[in-house]
Every structure is written in structure tokens, then in C-alpha cells.
Amino acid sequence: MKNRLFLLLVLIASFASNIHAQDLTSLKTEAQKTYEASANLNFDAIFEHTYPKVFEIVSKEQMKEMFDQMMANDQFTIKLIPVAPNFKFGNIKKIENKLFCVVEHDNAMTMKFNTPMEGAEDLIATFKASMKADEVTYDKASNTFSIKMRSTMIAIADEQTKNKWKFLNNDKSGQLFNMLFNEKIKTELGL
């Protein structure tokens, strides 16, 4: 009897470990796809990997328009630079029947201004503070800032996503996250 009980416990533990490994494996795969879609500004793929409740707040068309305006306007043009993301995955946590994981990754971009910059040093400090950028440099000849930073996205698998991993970029203020999830979830994720 003890041997059967022991064998049953080992099988249950093995099954649970296998489920966690599958979740982490699929999470890593989906995080890579999401990063590549963002770095290449592939809107269809970005929207496919975005947590669907986001589109209850802002439509896909509005989001694409915001991206377009943010990436190129009268003042500057932003280009995302694909880099090795060097993902760091937090623990997968089940909170309120949803799976969450905080995923950090490297990000890089250039911001080329259309008119010559005055006070580039002040802007370097501003970018470092507002974007929490690790490295900001300015090339006067091309009137371009290069920005490297760690970014955070929240992976979510729940009923809304049919238990597939979808992502939400965690802006530094956390406004979008706060619109979708409660304080308990935010606290448990350490945000």
C-alpha cells in the first residue's frame, strides 16, 4: 500500500512538473514571437499576441494609428532595433484563475529628430529617467539618440486567451495594467 501511495505521489509530482515545464516552454516561444513582432512592427502579429481585453479599451485601428504617429511625426522618427532580448522570466503565478508571468527583456531604438537639437544632454537625462533607459547616447552628425533599456511585459493565460500566452506591455506608469487588473494581482506580481 505504501509503495502504491508513493508511486501515485511521484506520478502526480511528475505530472505537475511536466505541466509547469510545458507552460514555461510555450511561454518562452510566445515571448520570442511577441518580441520579434514588436521589433519588426508587424502589427498583425503584435495584435495576435496582445492580451485581448486591451482591445476593449482601444481598438486595433486606434492602436495602429497611435503606433504610426508615435513612430514618425513632424518632430522625430523612431526605429526599433532588433537585439538579443535576453529574456528573464519571473515565476508563473496563478492568481484568480489566471496565469501570469513578468517577463523582462532588452530593447533598443533610435530616435532621429527632424531639426537640429539644442540641449541634447538634457534630453539624455530625460530619456534615462522617463524610460528608465540603461544607456542613451546622442550622435550630433545624424541628430539621433540611441536608447537601450530593459522592458517589461506581462504574460497572461486565461479564459480570455483560451489559456494561450498573450502579452501586455507594462509601461512605466502601469496605467494600462491598472485598467485591466486589480490591485491584488498587481501586488502579487510585484508591480
pLDDT of residue 119: 82
pLDDT (tens digit per residue) in 138-161:
999 999 999 999 999 999 999 999
Q: What are the structural domains of the chain?
A: 2-189 (3.10.450)
pLDDT band at 37 (very low <50, low <70, confident <90, very high): very high
**Torsion angle of C-alpha atoms 172, 138, 79, 30, degrees rounded to 10:** -50
For β-strands 133-139 and 76-80, DSSP reports them as: unpaired
Name which residue leads in pLDDT, 20 or 133: 133
Name which residue leads in pLDDT, 49 or 5: 49
Measured CA to CA, the distance from residue 23 to residue 63 in angstroms comes to 29
Residue 112: exposed, middle, or buried by beta-carbon count in 10 A (0-12, 13-18, 19+)? middle
Whether 61 has a pLDDT exceeding 60, the answer reads yes
pLDDT of residue 191: 84
- The H-or-E segment that residue 70 falls in is helix 60-71
